[in-house]
Structure 1
Amino acid sequence: MRDAEKTISNIIDKQKVAFISSVDSEGFPNTKAMLAPRKRDGIKTIYFTTNTSSMRVGQYRVNPKASIYFCDNRFFRGVMLKGTIEVMEDKLTKDMIWKIGDRMYYPKGVTDPDYCVLKFTAISGRYYSNFKSEEFTVE
């Protein structure tokens, strides 16, 4: 892969769903589909919104290890990013990610205590395309 960041960014930006994984109390991976990221800084930092009361948030508070997978069904390729997730509840981060339609999920608005942001920080990844995989580090 010539330009990992460009290739991976292209895949991320075209997906409506991301698969995000946490680690449960028994050490097993737990994966769920989430809406596409709200914001990203390259492929290093990726932001999602979720409910503070969710099981996933509880798992990240205990063990921040995480992975995210983006799948491009059209071309049968995908990318897994490995890193950590930080649960962000500060006003600045919540304001940065907030969208008008979010009130449907968080009726109290951006200050809703059940609204938080998941900040994923990648350390490495694995890209699959054309029946081959390759690993890469995230700078």
Structure 2
Amino acid sequence: MMRDTEKTIGNLIDKQGVAFISSVDKDGFPNTRAMLPPRKREGIHTFYFTTNTSSLKVAQYRKNEKACIYFCDRRFFRGVMLTGTVEVLEDAASKEMIWQEGDTMYYPKGVTDPDYCVLKFTAEKGRYYAKFQTEEFQVPL
């Protein structure tokens, strides 16, 4: 059992170079893809990712907001899955909040690029796996 859920999960997340994020397709099947880690997180409740507005996952989230994110520490064979919802944010404040130097490589028109948006993932519950055991938890607000 984790002593401090938010600290344990937060530390695992912050050390990963890849995040896996899933959406639901038109036929109700999960679609998972690897992404850069979240640009910003608020505890283990809210995560912000950059992506292309024109991507398939954005179209899927607009139709079905259900989602999950997964982070895996391969060295110690442990991981965490968080389930919740995704909002597609296209307002200037959200885009500026997580914009970083070098993002023009992905979004050539800069922070106002219409093909640049923010995915805001809000977690509701999670499952942590470590030491051959799994533990479910509610995400603190």
Q: TM-score normalised to the size of structure 1? A: 0.99
Q: Which amino acid aligns with 1:50?
A: T
**Corresponding residue number in structure 2 for 1:137:** 138
Residues 11-43 of structure 1 deviation map (CA, whole Å, 9 limit, x = unaligned): 000000000000000000000000111000000
Q: Secondary structure of the residue that 2:102 maps to in structure 1?
A: helix
**Corresponding residue number in structure 2 for 1:31:** 32
**Corresponding residue number in structure 1 for 2:73:** 72
CA–CA distance in structure 1, aligned partners of residues 81 and 24 of structure 2: 16
CA–CA distance in structure 1, aligned partners of residues 15 and 100 of structure 2: 19
**Corresponding residue number in structure 1 for 2:95:** 94
CA–CA distance in structure 2, aligned partners of residues 107 and 47 of structure 1: 20
Q: TM-score normalised to the size of structure 2? A: 0.98
% identity of equivalent residues: 74
CA–CA distance in structure 1, aligned partners of residues 131 and 64 of structure 2: 34
Q: Which amino acid aligns with 1:46?
A: F
**Corresponding residue number in structure 2 for 1:115:** 116
Q: Which amino acid aligns with 2:64?
A: N
Residue 81 of structure 2 is aligned to residue 83 of structure 1:
no
Residues 34-73 of structure 1 deviation map (CA, whole Å, 9 limit, x = unaligned): 0111000000000100000000000000000000000000
**Corresponding residue number in structure 1 for 2:63:** 62
**Corresponding residue number in structure 2 for 1:15:** 16
Shift of 1:100: 1.2
Q: Secondary structure of the residue that 2:129 maps to in structure 1?
A: strand
Q: Secondary structure of the residue that 1:26 maps to in structure 2?
A: coil
Q: Secondary structure of the residue that 1:57 maps to in structure 2?
A: helix
CA–CA distance in structure 1, aligned partners of residues 7 and 63 of structure 2: 33
How many residue pairs are counted as aligned between the two chains? 139
Query: Deviating runs (4+, > 3 A) in structure 1?
Result: none
